[in-house]
Amino acid sequence: MKLEMRDQPGQLVAALQPISAVGGNIIAVIHQRETPAATEVLDVQIVLELPEGRLEKLLELLREQGVNVVRIGEQRLLYECTLITIGHLMHTDLSDTVDRIDTTGSAEVTDLSLAMPAINAPSSARITIRSTTREEMKKAIRILRSVAEQKDLLIIEPLEGV
């Protein structure tokens, strides 16, 4: 997600401490010169990752520090993970498998490629999942693993994490 604030002296430093206090992870700090340039005021955008449910706490801490948050950007799906699954995907209701991830709210299947070689032969699918946080991704993969166990599907995970 993205926080925007005025770059007044000390604001950035004041913002960093609360972010780490709530377990957040700063991905980028972007200074943006406002138009018209004459104002000499900078906007600062902080792109960060937050554990689920910590946004309210962060905003409270930032207010206490006197940081003026101008805008809270959209929560973006920052993390991506592609897996392959093999088995009787249609017989075991592929759309239900996908739904079980989508219903988590913070992770979703954004891409699916299916290969069905022959009737009754196991089919293979490549599933791309996106999520807002690393934790959510881990949760989505755990869900997928347990669904796979129930439905007797093989899940091939990437070697390197998300």
Nearest approach in angstroms of CB 128 to other proteins is: 9
Q: Per rule CB under 8 A, is residue 145 in the interface with other proteins?
A: no
CA distance 3 to 24: 12
Nearer Cβ to other proteins, position 13 or 156? 156
What is the SS3 assignment for 7? coil
Nearest approach in angstroms of CB 51 to other proteins is: 19
Q: Which of residues 95-134 bind other proteins (CB under 8 A)?
A: 113, 115, 117, 122-126
Nearest approach in angstroms of CB 132 to other proteins is: 22
CA distance 154 to 83: 10
Q: Which of residues 51-70 bind other proteins (CB under 8 A)?
A: none
Give me 101's structure tokens: 């991830």
CA distance 25 to 30: 15
Q: Which of residues 12-41 bind other proteins (CB under 8 A)?
A: none
Nearer Cβ to other proteins, position 9 or 117? 117
CA distance 17 to 22: 9
Give me 60's structure tokens: 């409270």
Nearest approach in angstroms of CB 83 to other proteins is: 7
Q: Per rule CB under 8 A, is residue 148 in the interface with other proteins?
A: no
- Binding residue for other proteins (CB under 8 A) from 22, 67, 78, 83? 83
Residue 109: which of 100, 118, 117 has the closest Cα? 100
Give me 122's structure tokens: 């196991």
**Alpha-carbon distances, residue 141 vs 1, 11, 16, 125 (angstroms):** 22, 38, 31, 15
- Binding residue for other proteins (CB under 8 A) from 84, 102, 135, 143? 84
Residues making contact with other proteins (CB under 8 A):
82-84, 86-87, 113, 115, 117, 122-126, 154, 156-160
